[in-house]
Amino acid sequence: MIRKLYPYGKKKTFNVTYDDGVLQDIRFVELLNKYQLKGTFNLNSAMSESGFEWIHESGLVVKRLKTEILKSLYASHEVASHTLNHPYMDSLTKEEILHELSADKANLERLFGAEIKGFAVPFYYYSELIETCVKECGFEYARISEESCSFTPQNDYYNWKATVFHCCEELEDLTQRFLETDEELAIFQIVGHSYDLDVENMWDLMEGIFAAISTQSDILPMTTVEIIDYLKAMEKAEITGRYIQNNSNLSLWFAVNNAVCEVKPSESIAISCAADVHFS
Ligand SMILES: [Zn+2]
């Protein structure tokens, strides 16, 4: 009778979370913008500043984008921290971890003029100590390296898993399953680095996925922090057989007896009259 929905009555959400702020992000962001999709871009401010480069085993020189272009490039997307210098954090002390996180957050906030709420773990190492540091630095979530391979919303926001790494063989199969799923609050989030699209010759594959996602009207593009803020707000809602009480500062959306209802911040609706009060 009651089904949770994303904003504007959409059933599912999609985004990408891409790391390192590399040259190929220019083409990648153009592609996202073409299909009006959303991305979260996880940046290392010190490496952008120094113009860090390295040689991929394919021979491709992977280049960081210079600081000057970051603000305009990522204007309609989320920017999150990926540490200052992309270290292997397993060898760092707590003070060093805190510095890597807090200095990057401060640099990005200065550059973008907005609060940086998200953190994505560099390489694969994550621990309780890093999780503690992420919380101490005031981040709202940490995206770890493991994949969920699932569309189910998660509630451990400091161990957040994207659905699938873009080079995974399951990518197209998962995309098709996402297009067909009727799971409540389904999320599909692709993780990667845009230089892989050059190395693996995957630009057409990604564009095909974006085109397919963008044609489905029940999918809402959201950034990672928008999804997490919405899921947190949904967790606070009181949902009974008689009413829905929104205890958050975001509008929440539901299908009640197949009628789409918006419950505004701090408001409640009676279930019996939901379809009469709100539009369907
Ligand atoms: Zn990285």
Q: Print burial letters for 11-43: b (CB count within 10 Å at least 16), e (below 16).
A: bbbbbbbbbbbbbbbeebbebbeeeebbbbbbb
- As a whole number, mean pLDDT of residues 250-259 equals 95
Q: Print burial letters for 161-173: b (CB count within 10 Å at least 16), e (below 16).
A: bbbbbbebeebee
The helix/strand count (H/E) of the chain reads as 10, 17
Kindly give the distance from the C-alpha atom of residue 120 to the centroid of ligand 1, in angstroms, as a whole number.
Answer: 8
Instruction: State the CB neighbour count (10 A cutoff) for residue 60.
Output: 15
Kindly give the distance from the C-alpha atom of residue 87 to the centroid of ligand 1, in angstroms, as a whole number.
Answer: 9
Q: In this structure, what are the phi and psi dihedrals at residue 213, rounded to the nearest 5 degrees?
A: -65, -45
Kindly give the distance from the C-alpha atom of residue 122 to the centroid of ligand 1, in angstroms, as a whole number.
Answer: 5
Taken in order of first residue, the domains within the chain and their CATH numbers are: 11-231 (3.20.20.370), 237-276 (no CATH)
Token pair in block for residue 66: 């210079």
Cα–Cα dist 247/155, whole Å:
17
- Pick from 56, 3, 19, 7: nearest CA to 165: 19
Strand 243-245 relative to strand 238-239, pairing: antiparallel
pLDDT tens digits, 171-226 = 999 999 999 999 999 999 999 999 999 999 999 999 999 999 999 999 999 999 99
Kindly give the distance from the C-alpha atom of residue 82 to the centroid of ligand 1, in angstroms, as a whole number.
Answer: 7
Strand 61-63 relative to strand 53-55, pairing: antiparallel
Kindly give the distance from the C-alpha atom of residue 241 to the centroid of ligand 1, in angstroms, as a whole number.
Answer: 46
Predicted confidence at residue 280, as pLDDT, reads 36
* Lookup result for tokens 């057989």: 241
Kindly give the distance from the C-alpha atom of residue 62 to the centroid of ligand 1, in angstroms, as a whole number.
Answer: 12
Beta bridge partners of 33: none
pLDDT at 154 over 50: yes
Contact call for residues 213 and 13 (beta carbons, < 8 A): no
Helix or strand or coil: residue 41? strand
Predicted confidence at residue 258, as pLDDT, reads 87
Kindly state the DSSP code that residue 184 receives in the 8-state scheme. T
pLDDT at 76 over 60: yes
- Record the pTM: 0.95
pLDDT tens digits, 84-127 = 999 999 999 999 999 999 999 999 999 999 999 999 999 999 99
Give the gyration radius of the chain's Cα atoms: 20
pLDDT at 279 over 50: no
Kindly give the distance from the C-alpha atom of residue 183 to the centroid of ligand 1, in angstroms, as a whole number.
Answer: 31
pLDDT at 277 over 60: no
pLDDT tens digits, 124-143 = 999 999 999 999 999 999 99
Kindly give the distance from the C-alpha atom of residue 83 to the centroid of ligand 1, in angstroms, as a whole number.
Answer: 9
Kindly give the distance from the C-alpha atom of residue 42 to the centroid of ligand 1, in angstroms, as a whole number.
Answer: 8
* Lookup result for tokens 């409540």: 184
Kindly give the distance from the C-alpha atom of residue 207 to the centroid of ligand 1, in angstroms, as a whole number.
Answer: 22
- Residue partners of 197: CB distance under 8 A and separation at least 6: 24, 27, 28, 166, 203, 206
Kindly give the distance from the C-alpha atom of residue 152 to the centroid of ligand 1, in angstroms, as a whole number.
Answer: 25
Burial grade of 204 (CB within 10 A; 0-12, 13-18, 19 or more): exposed
If you average pLDDT over every residue of the chain, what do you get?
A: 95
Contact call for residues 4 and 254 (beta carbons, < 8 A): yes
Q: In this structure, what are the phi and psi dihedrals at residue 91, rounded to the nearest 5 degrees?
A: -100, 5
Kindly give the distance from the C-alpha atom of residue 112 to the centroid of ligand 1, in angstroms, as a whole number.
Answer: 20
Q: Which residue has the higher pLDDT, 176 or 51?
A: 176
Kindly give the distance from the C-alpha atom of residue 100 to the centroid of ligand 1, in angstroms, as a whole number.
Answer: 13
